[in-house]
Chains A and B, each alone.
Chain A
């Protein structure tokens, strides 16, 4: 388990707790009282820390190395029913964008999302969750296939951005994202979007237009990462905390701005400290969202979706 700077008090208590338990196992000393006390303190400390997180700390949590990734959620939700599908049918199979069919309860869903890696090797293999144009085109292919058979779409977003590479530009990164956004505004099946980690700009929105957009508590979603924002507006990387503050990128801010529909509460201590709890929370949220959407006709669905996005933006007339 890795800990972020502000999580260190939790680490200390966790270590004390583990040590006490070990002593209890290895000797005849009754440690149950001590353990209980430490456990209580641990919960209180977690509550205290997680109650007062700054936007920048949320950004750090969204990137926590132990945080579950797209495939973890999909496998937890669908179990053996998940069938991964590959390729954009034009160029190649983008490993940073995964997708496939799976069941949640009795209902089939098309799951699509960016995938990050767990160690240096897999991180490179997954290109750090930064998709190329073929990734967005693969996502669109899966969505159109879902539309054809009336299967609802769930997208899981976790990306530091679309890949800004030379070949990505040659193959039309902008066009690929633009096409997805346009097609998603008029897709005739329900689309449920869940931000499970990082929601960086066009790279996120390229699979992020939906009837219901849900954000987990410790995630961020904005037009740019706080680091890049800092480097452009402050001309230095040092102002990322201020940038995180200014961008209003947390789930609470995004809900207030009416740019997302719901916040998914994470287990105490964040998704990384109780993965199972996080999987259940996400599965329930998807089921609830689908219940609210499943009886709408395709025409109503698209009309409502377009209306929702047409209302976004604030100006003086």
Chain B
């Protein structure tokens, strides 16, 4: 006779009594690989099993790029305003409040200045967790001000895009942020200050149609979705099956819109290497080595 025998068939435990692994201990990548959360963090939030780049936010990117995670955040307190009194299934102010409570963020971008490999850089990093990283007036204004800071202090500027596009709840006000941010980048360009656009998963819509594609170099991470129209819209409009890998970073690189794709662990080095090369300065990695 078996040592263990089910007296009743099937799983009997009700859902609410099931024992769960505490959240945050393990991460499951899309290919089904299980990774220890701490190991994931040590590995720049890239699954060591299959190289999958987990979606991360400004907190993690700042950690990765700034030396010892030291930086000064700019324009921390800019807050969205509901000028249009926008209501869909939810009121816009309620949506904002929910997003702020859920994420602990003020809006969908954070901007900061700090040292990276010893030299100051200005970074604007979007947070997808905040209403899909959508760009409204606050995102536009913070990016514009960060670019102004770069311009004034003559510091390289980096935007890390991670966004579904313009924020519908601010309608045409959001649309005009494309022009506003692009005007600033035109000023940076005239002053010959390097601007690096890092397109991360996902970068679509109005973000792609403005600053994300306007870098002196545009770079990305493996597997990131980058496009103007989302894949669903393209499929629905054209009625065509989309080829494998459509709108991935690799696809966009192949079609000539990215300079290179970087593993997340090499981002800091590659960005600073480019800065040293384009400004014709001695390479810092030699000093640091």
- Knowing A164-B229, A234-B89, A316-B79 touch, does A248 contact B171 (C-beta < 8 A)? yes
- Knowing A313-B176, A315-B138 touch, does A177 contact B209 (C-beta < 8 A)? yes
- Knowing A179-B213, A205-B179 touch, does A310 contact B80 (C-beta < 8 A)? no
* B residues near A185, Cβ cutoff 8 Å: 179, 182-183, 186
Complex interface bits, A13-27 against B, C-beta within 8 A gives 1, otherwise 0: 000000000000000
* A residues near B177, Cβ cutoff 8 Å: 312-313
Q: Is A263 an interface residue (CB 8 A)?
A: no
Cβ-closest chain A residue relative to B251 = A170
Q: 8 Å CB contacts to B: which residues of A231-285? A: 232-234, 239, 242-243, 246-249, 254, 257, 259
Please measure, in the bound complex, the distance between the C-alpha atom of A86 and the C-alpha atom of B234, giving whole angstroms: 27
Cβ-closest chain A residue relative to B241 = A166
Cβ-closest chain A residue relative to B166 = A223
Complex interface bits, B177-202 against A, C-beta within 8 A gives 1, otherwise 0: 11110111111001000000000000
Cβ-closest chain A residue relative to B107 = A315
- In the complex, the answer to whether A223 meets B168 with C-beta atoms within 8 Å is yes
Scoring A234, A243, A317 by chain B CB atoms within 10 A of each residue's CB, the highest score goes to A317
* A residues near B83, Cβ cutoff 8 Å: 257, 314
- Knowing A179-B213, A206-B209 touch, does A221 contact B228 (C-beta < 8 A)? no
* B residues near A169, Cβ cutoff 8 Å: 227-229, 234, 246-247
- In the complex, the answer to whether B77 meets A317 with C-beta atoms within 8 Å is yes
With beta carbons under 8 angstroms apart, the residue of B75, B208, B234 that contacts A174 is B208
* A residues near B183, Cβ cutoff 8 Å: 182, 185-186, 305-306, 309-310
* B residues near A153, Cβ cutoff 8 Å: none
* B residues near A146, Cβ cutoff 8 Å: none
- In the complex, the answer to whether A224 meets B168 with C-beta atoms within 8 Å is yes
With beta carbons under 8 angstroms apart, the residue of A201, A221, A249 that contacts B206 is A201
Please measure, in the bound complex, the distance between the C-alpha atom of A316 and the C-alpha atom of B237, giving whole angstroms: 38
Cβ-closest chain B residue relative to A161 = B229
Please measure, in the bound complex, the distance between the C-alpha atom of A42 and the C-alpha atom of B167, giving whole angstroms: 43
Q: Is B278 an interface residue (CB 8 A)?
A: no
- In the complex, the answer to whether A201 meets B166 with C-beta atoms within 8 Å is yes
Q: Is B150 an interface residue (CB 8 A)?
A: no
Please measure, in the bound complex, the distance between the C-alpha atom of A166 and the C-alpha atom of B242, giving whole angstroms: 8
* B residues near A247, Cβ cutoff 8 Å: 84, 168, 171-172
Complex interface bits, A122-165 against B, C-beta within 8 A gives 1, otherwise 0: 00000000000000000000000000000000000000001111
- In the complex, the answer to whether B168 meets A312 with C-beta atoms within 8 Å is no
- In the complex, the answer to whether A172 meets B213 with C-beta atoms within 8 Å is yes
Least CB distance from B160 to A in Å reads 16
* B residues near A221, Cβ cutoff 8 Å: 172
Please measure, in the bound complex, the distance between the C-alpha atom of A229 and the C-alpha atom of B204, giving whole angstroms: 16
- In the complex, the answer to whether B84 meets A246 with C-beta atoms within 8 Å is yes
Please measure, in the bound complex, the distance between the C-alpha atom of A298 and the C-alpha atom of B204, giving whole angstroms: 34
- Knowing A162-B228, A179-B214 touch, does A201 contact B182 (C-beta < 8 A)? no
- In the complex, the answer to whether B88 meets A234 with C-beta atoms within 8 Å is yes
- Knowing A306-B183, A314-B173 touch, does A178 contact B81 (C-beta < 8 A)? no
* B residues near A178, Cβ cutoff 8 Å: 178, 182, 208-214
- In the complex, the answer to whether B172 meets A259 with C-beta atoms within 8 Å is yes
Please measure, in the bound complex, the distance between the C-alpha atom of A172 and the C-alpha atom of B214, giving whole angstroms: 12
Q: Is A168 an interface residue (CB 8 A)?
A: yes
- In the complex, the answer to whether A246 meets B86 with C-beta atoms within 8 Å is yes
Scoring A174, A201, A209 by chain B CB atoms within 10 A of each residue's CB, the highest score goes to A174
Q: Is B256 an interface residue (CB 8 A)?
A: yes
Q: Is A36 an interface residue (CB 8 A)?
A: no
- In the complex, the answer to whether A257 meets B172 with C-beta atoms within 8 Å is yes
* B residues near A186, Cβ cutoff 8 Å: 183, 186, 190
* B residues near A313, Cβ cutoff 8 Å: 136-138, 140-141, 173, 176-177, 180
- In the complex, the answer to whether A248 meets B172 with C-beta atoms within 8 Å is yes
Q: Is A57 an interface residue (CB 8 A)?
A: no
Cβ-closest chain B residue relative to A165 = B238
Complex interface bits, A290-317 against B, C-beta within 8 A gives 1, otherwise 0: 0000000000000001100110111111
- In the complex, the answer to whether A312 meets B247 with C-beta atoms within 8 Å is no
Q: Is A175 an interface residue (CB 8 A)?
A: yes
Please measure, in the bound complex, the distance between the C-alpha atom of A74 and the C-alpha atom of B60, giving whole angstroms: 53
- Knowing A169-B229, A259-B176, A317-B78 touch, does A246 contact B141 (C-beta < 8 A)? no
Please measure, in the bound complex, the distance between the C-alpha atom of A223 and the C-alpha atom of B171, giving whole angstroms: 5
Q: Is B26 an interface residue (CB 8 A)?
A: no
Least CB distance from A250 to B in Å reads 11
* B residues near A170, Cβ cutoff 8 Å: 255
Please measure, in the bound complex, the distance between the C-alpha atom of A185 and the C-alpha atom of B178, giving whole angstroms: 11
* B residues near A309, Cβ cutoff 8 Å: 176, 179-180, 183
Least CB distance from B183 to A in Å reads 4
Q: Is B274 an interface residue (CB 8 A)?
A: no
With beta carbons under 8 angstroms apart, the residue of A232, A257, A315 that contacts B79 is A315
* A residues near B40, Cβ cutoff 8 Å: none
* Sample (9) of A-B pairs whose CB atoms are under 8 Å apart: A164-B238, A165-B229, A181-B178, A182-B185, A205-B178, A224-B171, A234-B88, A242-B88, A310-B183
Q: Which 5 A-B pairs have the closest CB atoms?
A: A174-B208, A164-B229, A313-B137, A174-B228, A233-B88
New contact pairs (12) apart from A313-B176, A317-B79, CB-CB < 8 Å: A166-B234, A181-B209, A201-B166, A201-B175, A202-B175, A202-B206, A224-B171, A246-B84, A246-B86, A313-B136, A313-B173, A314-B173
Residues of B within 8 A of A (CB): 75, 77-81, 83-84, 86-89, 136-138, 140-141, 144, 166-168, 170-180, 182-187, 190, 204-206, 208-214, 226-229, 233-234, 237-238, 240, 242-243, 246-247, 255-257
